[in-house]
């Protein structure tokens, strides 16, 4: 499987510009955005099949974001996890509870 985030695949840990807390907060923003998109779909799309298709896509995206967000809290405690198919190791500088290996 091809890796799609070069910063993570090259070093095996989080890049300097990202932290677990930032990813957790961004996932909340994505969920809010998906909720707003859901309201727009329900309000402005009138064809039933098109509305149903958009609802399914938005629900699948929301479920994916929520499940990855819940895995992130375990990742912070374990200091090593897999998010979106990427093995990520949280460096000691990002989480003092992680021991450098």
48 within domain boundaries: yes
Does the pTM exceed 0.85? no
101 within domain boundaries: no
> Which pLDDT value is given to residue 57?
92
List the structure tokens of 42: 């329900």
Q: Identify which has the larger pLDDT, 28 or 92.
A: 28
pLDDT in tens, 17-33: 777 677 778 888 999 99
Number of structural domains (the chain) is: 1
> Which pLDDT value is given to residue 99?
63
Q: How confident is the model at residue 56 (pLDDT cuts 50, 70, 90)?
A: very high
Q: Identify which has the larger pLDDT, 25 or 71.
A: 25
77 within domain boundaries: yes
Q: What is the 3-state secondary structure (H, E, C) of 23-68?
A: HHHHHHHHHHHHHHHHHHHHHHCCCHHHHHHHHHHHHHHHHHHHHH
97 within domain boundaries: no
């Amino acid at each position: 499987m091809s890796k799609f985030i070069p910063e993570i695949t090259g070093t095996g840990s989080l890049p300097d510009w990202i932290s677990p807390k930032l990813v957790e907060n961004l996932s909340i923003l994505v969920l809010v955005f998906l909720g707003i998109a859901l309201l727009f779909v329900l309000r402005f799309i009138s064809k039933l099949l098109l509305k149903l298709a958009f609802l399914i896509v938005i629900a699948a995206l929301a479920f994916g974001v929520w499940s990855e967000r819940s895995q992130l809290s375990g990742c912070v405690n374990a200091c090593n996890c897999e998010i979106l198919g990427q093995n990520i190791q949280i460096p000691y500088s990002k989480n003092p509870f992680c021991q450098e290996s």
